[in-house]
């Protein structure tokens, strides 16, 4: 399949067959919480496509209905693994994970902190766009992105940029006024996140683009 990525256009039959195969793979990923394979499947879903009436249709259209994308713990693990990968590639040590308010006297490098904040912003931006592409509930997406922006103490401006892109489907004006409680729900705060150790960096085009825009020099 890696060889096929150099020529990712599929005919109708190949499009359906590969889509069915990917759905089967996602079933197993959901059962075992296999994040590495899930991320690879996401890359293939974006890469492979068919053309119809001059328009490209990638495999996201077929696999976005899978129940895996609605599980918050999957996205937690994807975010933690992606940030861990970038930390490793930029030689950021574990102590830089501590927010300033919780540093507890550990060695602290302000330049590394700025780099870490940049990495977190880029990864959350990239993953947030991916969540939108896979039609994840925008309310859940926004809460998860907010959770990690607050965890890593991103600025209010960065938080606004990251969460402003989540736009749910237009709904009719409600007949009554609803009171919405803002903030991170308890079920998100209590999630246990496992950070995977990653030895090979997976390129993320959008993340690198965001990094370039935030660091023009």
* Residues 208 and 102 reside in one and the same domain: yes
* Residues 190 and 150 reside in one and the same domain: yes
Write down the pTM of the prediction.
Answer: 0.66
* Residues 149 and 43 reside in one and the same domain: no
For residues 207 and 61, the model is more confident at 61
Report phi then psi at 56, rounded to 5. -90, 135
Q: Which domain holds residue 148?
A: 71-217
* Residues 20 and 88 reside in one and the same domain: no
* Residues 197 and 94 reside in one and the same domain: yes
* Residues 129 and 144 reside in one and the same domain: yes
* Residues 64 and 79 reside in one and the same domain: no
Is residue 45 within 8 Å of residue 85, measured between CB atoms?
A: no
What is the structure's pLDDT at 153?
Answer: 87
Domain count along the chain: 2
User: Tokens 């030895």 appear where?
Assistant: 199
* Residues 102 and 138 reside in one and the same domain: yes
Q: How far apart are CA 106 and CA 123, in angstroms?
A: 25
DSSP character for 9?
A: B
Tens-digit pLDDT profile for residues 51-86: 888 888 889 988 999 999 999 999 999 999 999 999
Residue 182 has pLDDT above 60, yes or no: no
Structure tokens at 122: 């880029």
Helix, strand and coil percent figures for the chain, each rounded to 5: 60, 5, 35
What is the structure's pLDDT at 191?
Answer: 40
Structure tokens at 73: 């713990």
Residue 17 has pLDDT above 70, yes or no: yes
């Amino acid at each position: 399949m890696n060889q096929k990525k150099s020529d990712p256009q599929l005919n109708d039959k190949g499009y359906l067959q590969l889509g069915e195969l990917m759905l089967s793979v996602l079933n197993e990923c959901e059962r075992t919480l296999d994040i590495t394979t899930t991320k690879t499947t996401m890359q293939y879903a974006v890469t492979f496509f068919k053309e119809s009436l001059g328009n490209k249709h990638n495999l996201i259209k077929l696999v976005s209905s899978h129940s895996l994308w609605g599980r918050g713990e999957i996205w937690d693990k994807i975010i933690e693994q992606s940030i861990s990968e970038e930390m490793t590639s930029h030689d950021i040590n574990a102590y830089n994970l501590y927010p300033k308010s919780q540093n507890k006297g550990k060695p602290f490098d302000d330049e590394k902190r700025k780099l870490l904040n940049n990495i977190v912003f880029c990864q959350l931006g990239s993953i947030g766009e991916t969540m939108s592409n896979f039609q994840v509930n925008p309310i859940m997406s926004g809460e998860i992105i907010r959770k990690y922006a607050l965890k890593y103490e991103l600025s209010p401006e960065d938080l606004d940029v990251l969460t402003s892109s989540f736009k749910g489907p237009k709904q009719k004006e409600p007949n009554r006024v609803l009171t919405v409680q803002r903030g991170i729900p308890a079920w998100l705060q209590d999630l246990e996140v496992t950070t995977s150790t990653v030895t090979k960096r997976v390129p993320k085009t959008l993340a690198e683009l965001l990094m370039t825009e935030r660091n023009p020099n």
